Amino acid sequence: MNRLGQIVIIIILLILNVPWLSDMIGLKEPHPLHGESTKLDMPDLSAKSFWTGDLQHGIDEYFRTNFLLRGLAIRTRNEIDYSIFSEYHAKSVIAGQEGYLFEENYILAALGLDSISTDSIIDRVSKVSQLSDVTGVPVLVVLAPGKGSYFKEFIPLSYLEEEGSVENRMFKIWSQESENMLNVLDLHSHFSTKPNVFPKNGIHWSEWVQVEAINLISDALVEILPDSLMPARMIIDSTYTSVDMEGTDEDIERGLNLWRDLEDFEAKYYVTHWEELPMEYRPRVLLVGDSYTWGPVNKGLLRHGYKSSEFWFYNAAVHGPSIEEKGASPQTIHGFTSRDEFEDVIAQFDAVVLLSTDANLSRFPFNFPPNHFNEQQ
């Protein structure tokens, strides 16, 4: 074999062994991806895994995923497809008019194309109301705004032309039916006339809106809590603007994993600190909500606004300052196996906050209280 052939073989072997060599010498992924793993552990070696083929499959997945330049390759593919074909590789992302980015369920919500029956909503509200009556714990329903409803003029024309659309139908029904039996904070309407509630390239409410939402929720809780309890507020020290997006203000763009930085509009941000309020005055609150709840939670709401509080993400994964097994189910964390035991858990809170953007109202309040307990009654 000539020398050139030997060099080619060495180069090929080096490329094939990049994943484990990079692990051994501690090289880091130069272009990490958002929302997609580029790092897997080497599968465990055992006779059983070898015999079943799991080991071989695991090794193949390990090399495929841990390839050092995988992020670079995926970003390059995404950039080419976006630039030439206007094609995205992020799930459910829709490009609206003038480059505004949406996720499809927010568009469907804005046009009323995700609707369920009014009777189903009434039944869900009734079950939450009954739980509140039995436990003595007040419930606050928070209806958050949605990007599709807020920026309806930028929704793609193909969606606007669909038949059967009824503007914001789910929001209107939820607002009306909840108002009759529960306490409602309508942030959807509150922010509808305010500017820059949503960023151009993000799907969640803007960072400054999250701060104001925290205080609006606290004010609403004061109205339904005993006089001895009061949530702490976020104090706004100053305001500034920036074209460099912070927090979740370009979360869709990051998920696209492009090389370019898409154009953003100037955004408003607050410099804040938490009000100092003695722990004994703060309520213990249970938050049950969708991803819009993460903004207030990540700003310290459970730790600094309330006390010993919890966030049940989609009523499926528990998070909180005192939760050790974060992400475990409420049933795993609290051990309830019956309706009575579930009610005992809820009764330990001073208030329950149910929060959802309009895009998730067809699933809201995420099987809270659990239906299988209702069926046992």
H or E element, residue 376: helix 371-376
- What is the spatial distance between Cα 341 and Cα 348, in angstroms, rounded to a whole number? 11
DSSP output for 82-118: HHHH----STTEEE-GGG-EEEHHHHHHHTTTT---H
- pLDDT tens digits, 120-174: 999 999 999 999 999 999 999 999 999 999 999 999 998 988 766 666 678 888 8
**353-376 pLDDT, tens per residue?**
999 999 999 999 999 999 876 554
CB 183 within 8 A of CB 139: yes
Percent of the chain surpassing pLDDT 90: 62
pLDDT score at 50? 62
Where on the phi/psi map is residue 320: left (φ > 0), alpha (ψ -120 to 50), or beta?
A: left
Asked whether residue 1 carries a pLDDT value surpassing 70, the answer given is no
How many whole angstroms separate alpha carbon 62 and alpha carbon 46? 16
**Are residues 168 and 112 in contact, defined by beta-carbon separation less than 8 angstroms?**
yes
For residue range 313-331, list pLDDT tens digits in order: 999 999 999 999 999 999 9
Higher pLDDT, 45 or 146: 146
Instruction: Work out the average pLDDT over 188-193.
Output: 94
| Cis-peptide into 321, omega within 30 deg | no
> How many angstroms from the chain centroid is the CA of residue 69?
29
Tell me: pLDDT of 23 over 70. no
The pLDDT of residue 89 is: 83
Domain ranges of the chain: 3-81, 93-376
**pLDDT band at residue 180, thresholds of 50, 70 and 90?**
confident
CB atoms < 10 A from the CB of 158, how many? 9
